[in-house]
Structure formats: C-alpha cells, structure tokens
Structure 1
Amino acid sequence: MGLAGALATPAHGDTKAPAVVNDARLEAAYVIMGDGFATVRIVTGAAGCPALTIDAKAQPMIVRAPHASLPLRPTASTIANSKPSVFPITVCEASLPPGAKRASVDGRPLPMPRPVIRRIVVIGDTGCRLKASENAYQACNDPEAYPFAIVAAHAAAWHPDLVIHVGDYLYRENPCAPGHAGCAGSPWGYGWDSWKADFFTPGAALLAAAPWTVTRGNHESCERAGQGWWRLLDPRAMQPRHDCNDAADDVTGNYSAPYRVSLGQGAQVVVMDLSHAGKKNIAADDPRYDEFVSTHDALARYARNATFTFATDHYPILGVTIPDGEPDKPPKAGNKAFQSTFGQVDKGLVPAGVDVLLAGHVHLWEHVDYSGNTPSQFIAGFSGTQEDAVPLPSRLPVDTSPLPGVTIRQFDAWTDGFGYMTMERTGARSWKVTVRHADGSLLRRCRIRGNHTYCEPIFG
C-alpha cells in the first residue's frame, strides 16, 4: 500500500470512518507536507472528528490517534520527575487531493499547498526551555523572554507559501522550580498540555498561514517527546513500533527514511530524520550507521533529479560551532556523526546536487559558504528557545574546515536574540534571503546562487 493509501486507512484496522463531530473543542487545524501529498491534521477534544470541507464537498476524516495516557518515558533531566504523557485529544487527518483549491474545518479556512513555492519561512528550536539538570528556567510567561508567539505572528504577516521548521518543538521537560516567577504554573513533560503551550498556542498564527514541512529534532526522540511527534507532526501514517511507546522499539521509532517535498519548477526540499545523530563518531555496528548511509544514498538519488535542492535535518552537517563545554577552544566545522557515516561513502560528505543545508539545534542564526561544490549551511535555531550558544568569533581560524581541501568563503553568526529567516525565489537556482528579529525588523540580507551564498549584515 502506498503512503497516500495508508493515510486513507483508519488506524487499528477500523474500516469505519469516525462519527463526524461539530464541536467547539477544536484545538488546532493545520496542514503538513509529506512525500508527494499534503495532509490536514485536526486536534480536537472530542472523541470523533470534525467536519472537513474540500472545494465545497464534505470529506470524512480518520482518527490518527485517539485519547490516551501513554507509558512513562523518562524526561531529559531526571527519572524522578517523569510522568506519563497524557493526550486527552483526538488527532484526525485526511489527505488533500492534488489540485484542491479550498479546504476548511468547521468553517475555519486551512492553508492550501501551492504548486510553485516562492516564499518560505524557516524557523527552529521554538520551545520554552525548562530543564532542571542545567538549572535552565526560561520565563515562558514573558513574551519578550520567550517570543515564539511574536516570531510566529510576524512570520505569518510575511505571507509565506511554506514554513520549514528545522526541529525541536518541545522544551518544557521539567517543572518550573520555586522562585522562578517567569515560568510559574507552566505545564511540563511530554503530554498534550506541554505540546499545546510550547508549540500549538504560540505557533497558531503561522500554522494558519501556510502548510508546514516539519523536521524532527533531538527533543522529539523516542526517549523524549517522540510520542507526541508521531501523533501530531510526522507526515507518515502511524505504524506499529514507530510510536515511541515501548523503549524496546526505540531503534525503530527513532528513524524514518528521508522524503522530498516539491517546491515546483524542479526545486525541492529533502527532509531527513537524523535527530538522533549526536556529535560523536558512529561506529559501523551501531544501528544508526546503516540508517545514515541509506539516508545519504536516498538524498543523492533525489538530488540527481532536481534543478535545486534544499536538504534539512536538525543537527548541522556542515555548521561551525564551539565544542560542547569548551568555550575556550577554537570553533570546529562539521559533525563527527556525519563524517563517520556520510563520509565513509562520499569523500564530499554531502551528495552532489545538494545546494543548501538547513538545520537548527544550535541556538543561534548562522551562515557558512564553502568553496567548490560543497553546499552552503544555514542554521536557524533561534526562534524561541533560550540561547545557550557561546558567541562565535567574527573571524575563524584559517584552518577551520569540515573536509580536506574545502575552505570557508564566508561565515556569519548572530547570537544576540530571537528571530526567523525568509527565502524568496528569484530564479531557477537563486533565492533572496532575509534574517529578521522576532519583531520582523531586518537583520541580514543574503542571496543564494546555486550552492553558494553571500550575506550582508544590516546591523547587530
């Protein structure tokens, strides 16, 4: 059965569509882009699915995930602060037919995919950081200290055709500690209350503005918020052993094959699930090794057949960062996890034909342009999460490089606040890029020409 067919089949072998419900408890309505299809997702407090109308015709939705209290998974801080993930919601879905013009649920209009994508917003690392092990208690109640809602509103006002999120949606992993008024009363853990507070409520304006391409972050790994990731965001059909409920299945639940989203006129974005990469070498007997090599090979096939290719994953493949816990050490380029996997089958590390890499994970904005055929790297991990990045120098050591014979032509990083990135198509292989503060004011102007990029600071 193809993926589109799987999406049209109710979960758990139920061949009956759920009862249609017109209910005021509609929590969220949004559109996720998958491999050749777009799917409408609805989150409702009701047991059944609401009415969906596509081009003036009613269409049934299926239950992707029913109400549930899911098995205990440890938080990223301490098992003592763990609790079950409670989802007192129904997640419904339906595929959008190709060429559909309008869709709505209970009268609420939905953003529709465009055949040619010209305007893209890029955001990442959007949740509010509550992590006891790092004594990190971001002021989630203060829109200046946690400005994802502001970012989402201004990005939505730019009227994008597509939103790309580069991963890490949920950061409220532990209770707000006493004495921290800025996060007092915040929900925490990996259930719906945290997902709603950290993503769906602050991101509502941008979810309504355009369809989304979603990249899985390490915060959505099975041992963290993977249960919600599979229920709410991943575009694929729910599958046995991919739901992150049983720790014995985490190897399966932590990885999916890459897929491509067409941007029209030969351009595409390839989405890779490499959220469990880490930053250390991956041995050949590690299950991730074959997964990553398979991802590399699929990316190479996709890139061969496109005019222009963005590739997105959460960990920067070619980013420049300060080594963890070593602020006095010089910056390093690249990531050992990819050098030990991609690099074993490709001396250029990233397949030919990939033009620009998009990532997050590091809580900053960054741009690196490399010599030769090496793709440029953008990092957009600056859209809400408390910044923890050590400021990078304006000039890098001359030997900073992820690969022998590859030099850095231009490097730029910004760590002084929050914001988002926009990309606007200007040609078959060219894009105009802007980097903006949370309030929409301009921070950088960049241009993409093939696999090379150049950025011009405005201020900051």
Structure 2
Amino acid sequence: MPLVRPSFRSISPPLRQAGRRSARLLPRAGLLAMLAALGGCAGFPGQQAQQAPESAFVILGEDGAPIARAITLAQACPAIEIDGRTSPMTVRAPWGAIPVRPLEDGGKRPAPASSTAVLSCETPIPAGSTRVAVAGQPLPLPKADKAYRRIVVIGDTGCRLKGKDFQECNDPHAYPFAHIAASAAAWKPDLVVHVGDFHYREDPCPADRPGCAGSPWGYNYDAWKADFFTPARTLLAAAPWIVARGNHETCSRGGQGWWRYLDPHAYAPQRSCDDPAMDVEADYTDPYAVPIGGDAQFIVFDSANTTYKGFKAGDVRLQKYAEAWRKMEALSRAARFNIAVDHHPLYAFGANRDAATGAITLFGGDAGLVQAFGAFGPRLLPSNIDVLLSGHVHLWEQTSFGSDHPTQFVAGFAGTAEDIVPLPAAVPPTVTPAPGALVEAMSSWIDGFGFMTMERTGPDAWHAVVHDRDGRARNTCEIKGRHSRCALAQVQGGGGR
C-alpha cells in the first residue's frame, strides 16, 4: 500500500497557518519532513481516525503474560491505548505477503491468485491494566487475580480443502465455526483454549464444487483470514486466548502464518518457517505455563511435528520432544493441579471402519509421542499432570483411567469436517489407548459440531459441559483430580441447526 501524503485540509487551522508560514522559511526537504511528522500523528486520539486493523486480540504467553496482537493492511502498526496512555504497537512480523516456500522436492507450490500483504503487530500488556484498546477497539483483558473460572475449549476449526476432501466452506451448516464462536462467546468465558489446527484451506476448490467456490487457499493471510480471523471474530473479542499448535501449523503447512499471527513466543526470521533449512528450529517451541489461580495452571506444549508412524533411530524429534518433556516436568512442580494442553491426544481413541467388511478398529494415541515420552516411563506425561486437553481427532471424547494416567478430553469438533465412525460406549479391559492405561470411564460424541466448557467448582474439580453449535448442553462431566465421569457414554445426533 503506497504511503499517503497528508494535505493541508486534514490539518487543524492553527497548524495549517503554521505550516504556510514555515513553507516560506523552510527549504523543500524540511517542509516535507514537517508534513510527514504531522501526518504520522493523525492516528492518535483527538485527531484523524486510524485505519481499523483486520483483527485485534489478546494471547496469553509464558506465565500467563498477556500480549496484544493486531493484524493490519497498513504499513505502520496501529496505536494501542493502555489505561489512557497511547503509543504505537511494535512490529512483530514485517508488512508483506507470506512468501511461497520451496517444497521438499525442490519445486514450488502454485501461488494463489491473491495473497494480501499484512503487518503483524504486538504489545505486552502490563499487569494490572484495566483498559486496553487498539485503534479504539477495546480488547478483553485477563483476570486480575489470574483466577480463570469459566473456560471455553475448542479445536480443529478450519474448513478442509485438501486432496480429495472439500468441505462446503460457503455453507454455515456444513462449516459452522462462525456460529460456534458466537455461541461460545455468548457463554461469557474468562478464557478460551484452542487445542490446534486453525488452517485447513490448503488446495483450490475444484470447479465442480459450488459449496467452496471462491474460497481463498494456500498458506497465506487470505486463507488464514477465511479459516480463522473472520469466523472467530466474536470469540476473539470475548476473552484472552491460549493457543496450541497443531500439525496443520507445522512449517511445511501453515507454520508461516502461525509464527506471524499466533505463536506467543518471540518472532525471529530464523523461526518464521520461511526457510526450510531452519525448520529444525521453527518446528518446535518450548512448553510454557499459564497460572489459573488456586494453585492450578495450564501447561501448553507443542506436539505439531510428531507422527502417528513413530520415529526412526536418530530422528531429531526424539531429542526435541525429550527436551520438551523435561521442561514440562520442571513447570509442573510450580502448581498442585496441572492441565496440559497440546494438539495430539495421548490417552484417547480414534476409529477406522474397514471398507470391505464394515468392521471397526480402534487406535490409540500418537506413536511418535508415545515413543519419545515413553522413554521417561509408561505414564508418558510427568507425574504432576492431571488432565490433558487435545484435538486432532474430529470429535468430542472423554476418557478416565483406573491406572495412574491423566484424564483425557478431545475437543476437535468446532468446524472441520467431522469423523463419523462411532466409538463404543465402553471398551474391553484388554483395549487401551496408551501403554498400561486401564480405562474406567469413556464418553464420546461423533458427527456433532460444538464446543466444550469448563467451570471451576473446587481446587481440583471442574464441571465440564459439551455444547452443540447453538450452545445447548448435550453432555456434562465432572472432573476430580485426574479422574472424570460424564452423564452420557454416547451423545446421539448431530444437534444444532
């Protein structure tokens, strides 16, 4: 976007008169510098309104520190007002279109017809702040005492366009994320937790599929906007967010947008996912903790680049995830009750149906993480972790164990085309999702879109509700320590409009 030279008509009369007097005294270069300075002030309160950002929201990072983020089409960051004091936000990632990454085979992805250039900006929000606004738009603030009692959990929210699977992104019934986000916002949460997989529009919509016709696609801002920032608008305005990285946000997929827009860690060119040679750094981030009051905390860890196939000897991911485990273990000592957040379930089931026989086969947690974390013991996660929130499987699921394993919730049911192979109401004692895990209770909802909420009822107790797309309760669960029980073993029907 070209810079706009200010005109005298946009400047107040006293300044305009001063400018005319100065024009007779200053050389041309000095006059242009003065006009540029006056124009640069036009975005602050009391003067010309700023261009509204594309999106403005709050992410929680290490130790729960809130970070204001903004994405703008302008080439300068918007102003942020914090308790009456205004300053420009800091550039996180420079203005421009996301560059097309080389493929592993040396080729290039076809560039989408449109790839909008944007600027990503951020500002840490000081503790105790009571009012924060970006370009006049108020932002939701974290709880002053960090006691988050009402929490929304969502995941797998983008519209799938890839390979042979093309979701009808233009149909709000077939792709209901915007409606779900509005329903979740109406619940008035203190905090939103997204368990990963934001970006799904990877391939162009085929000409014979009117349900997704005209959709942006590729690993650029346009697809990110359609998949996340536009449909999530109401929920981004409702509360601060914790974001976990999914396999759709690895460097070879949507990682460039992930780093520019959402990751709470510091941005740097070598961790931008622009250069495949740097993926060994950019595909992994350190775990971090978010205190939620009452001697409890979330521990967020990045499982994006694991694989269900497992790792070969010498794979760098074995080392990376071992380092992550050790850091999680150290973080978990800081609180009595720990809820881990990642994308890949460790203690849940998925199901496959044989096309020829119709037989259903259950499969358990991610083989790569089981391999890497299993080196520390069969429990997989550190001993102080009580609950695991994940996504990846496109359904809602709960499992609890008679053995010493964390209770698992899967909330991958907020927008992406759903899994439709049913899970059983119970499993035989010999069937387990993880080494040594003895299932004592299980619940699931297949082929139903919605969101999950958690409301605190005690030091280590939560009341969880499974909502459909309209916000209606479809199941309830009680969490106590590392165990959970739900009212229904199976939720029937898709629900919602």
Q: Structure 1 length normalisation: TM-score?
A: 0.91
Distance 1:377 1:421, change over 3 A: same
Tell whether 2:229 aligns with 1:235: no
Question: What's 2:310 paired with?
Answer: 281
Question: What's 1:35 paired with?
Answer: 62
> For the Cα contact (< 8 Å) 2:101–2:109, is it kept in 1?
no
Residues 106-162 of structure 1, C-alpha deviation per residue, up to 9 Å, x if partnerless? 22110001121011000000001111x2x2111111111100000000000011011
Question: What's 1:6 paired with?
Answer: none
Tell whether 2:101 aligns with 1:70: no
Cα drift, residue 396 of structure 1:
1.9
Cα drift, residue 69 of structure 1:
3.0
User: d(CA) in 2 for partners of 1:229 and 1:335?
Assistant: 22
Aligned residue pairs total 440
Cα drift, residue 246 of structure 1:
0.7
SS at structure 2 position matched to 1:73: coil
Amino acid at match of 1:43: I
SS at structure 1 position matched to 2:98: strand
Question: What's 2:408 paired with?
Answer: 377
Tell whether 2:73 aligns with 1:45: yes
Cα drift, residue 248 of structure 1:
1.0
Query: Among 443, 446, 463, which residue is 1:412 paired with?
Result: 443
Tell whether 2:185 aligns with 1:156: yes
User: d(CA) in 2 for partners of 1:350 and 1:34?
Assistant: 21
Tell whether 2:53 aligns with 1:26: yes
Question: What's 1:328 paired with?
Answer: 359
Question: What's 1:447 paired with?
Answer: 478
Tell whether 2:381 aligns with 1:354: no
User: d(CA) in 2 for partners of 1:325 and 1:222?
Assistant: 33
Tell whether 2:215 aligns with 1:186: yes
User: d(CA) in 2 for partners of 1:388 and 1:365?
Assistant: 10
Distance 1:403 1:165, change over 3 A: closer
Residues 264-284 of structure 1, C-alpha deviation per residue, up to 9 Å, x if partnerless? 221111111111111122234
Cα drift, residue 381 of structure 1:
0.5
Tell whether 2:138 aligns with 1:120: no
SS at structure 2 position matched to 1:70: coil
> For the Cα contact (< 8 Å) 2:403–2:436, is it kept in 1?
no
Question: What's 2:7 paired with?
Answer: none
> For the Cα contact (< 8 Å) 1:124–1:360, is it kept in 2?
yes
Cα drift, residue 388 of structure 1:
3.4
> For the Cα contact (< 8 Å) 1:111–1:210, is it kept in 2?
yes
Question: What's 1:10 paired with?
Answer: none
Query: Among 399, 414, 417, which residue is 1:368 paired with?
Result: 399
Query: Among 361, 368, 373, which residue is 1:337 paired with?
Result: 368
Question: What's 1:13 paired with?
Answer: none
Residues 182-331 of structure 1: pairs in structure 2 closer than 5 A: 182-322=211-351, 328=359, 330-331=361-362
Distance 1:80 1:89, change over 3 A: closer
Distance 1:324 1:233, change over 3 A: farther
Cα drift, residue 240 of structure 1:
3.5
Tell whether 2:458 aligns with 1:427: yes
Cα drift, residue 335 of structure 1:
2.4
User: d(CA) in 1 for partners of 2:335 and 2:462?
Assistant: 16
CA RMSD of aligned residues (A): 2.2
User: d(CA) in 1 for partners of 2:287 and 2:177?
Assistant: 27
> For the Cα contact (< 8 Å) 2:420–2:447, is it kept in 1?
no
Cα drift, residue 71 of structure 1:
3.0
Percent same amino acid at aligned positions?
46
Residues 83-122 of structure 1: pairs in structure 2 closer than 5 A: 83=111, 86-114=115-143, 115-122=146-153
Structure 2 alignment gaps of length 5 or more: 1-39, 44-48, 493-497
Residues 184-235 of structure 1, C-alpha deviation per residue, up to 9 Å, x if partnerless? 1111111111111110000000000000000001111101110000000001
> For the Cα contact (< 8 Å) 2:286–2:301, is it kept in 1?
yes
Residues 427-450 of structure 1, C-alpha deviation per residue, up to 9 Å, x if partnerless? 110011000101101111001100
Question: What's 1:170 paired with?
Answer: 199
> For the Cα contact (< 8 Å) 1:362–1:389, is it kept in 2?
no
Cα drift, residue 303 of structure 1:
1.6
Structure 1 alignment gaps of length 5 or more: 1-18
Tell whether 2:423 aligns with 1:392: yes
Residues 232-265 of structure 1, C-alpha deviation per residue, up to 9 Å, x if partnerless? 0001111231100011111211001111111122
User: d(CA) in 2 for partners of 1:217 and 1:82?
Assistant: 23
Distance 1:79 1:170, change over 3 A: farther
Question: What's 1:130 paired with?
Answer: 161
Residues 6-54 of structure 1, C-alpha deviation per residue, up to 9 Å, x if partnerless? xxxxxxxxxxxxx664533410010000002110001111111111111
> For the Cα contact (< 8 Å) 1:124–1:167, is it kept in 2?
yes
Amino acid at match of 1:63: V
Distance 1:421 1:392, change over 3 A: same
> For the Cα contact (< 8 Å) 1:75–1:189, is it kept in 2?
no
> For the Cα contact (< 8 Å) 1:117–1:161, is it kept in 2?
yes
Cα drift, residue 292 of structure 1:
0.7
Computing the radius of gyration over CA atoms, which structure comes out larger, 1 or 2? 2
Distance 1:404 1:238, change over 3 A: closer
> For the Cα contact (< 8 Å) 1:75–1:224, is it kept in 2?
no
Distance 1:80 1:236, change over 3 A: closer
> For the Cα contact (< 8 Å) 1:128–1:140, is it kept in 2?
yes
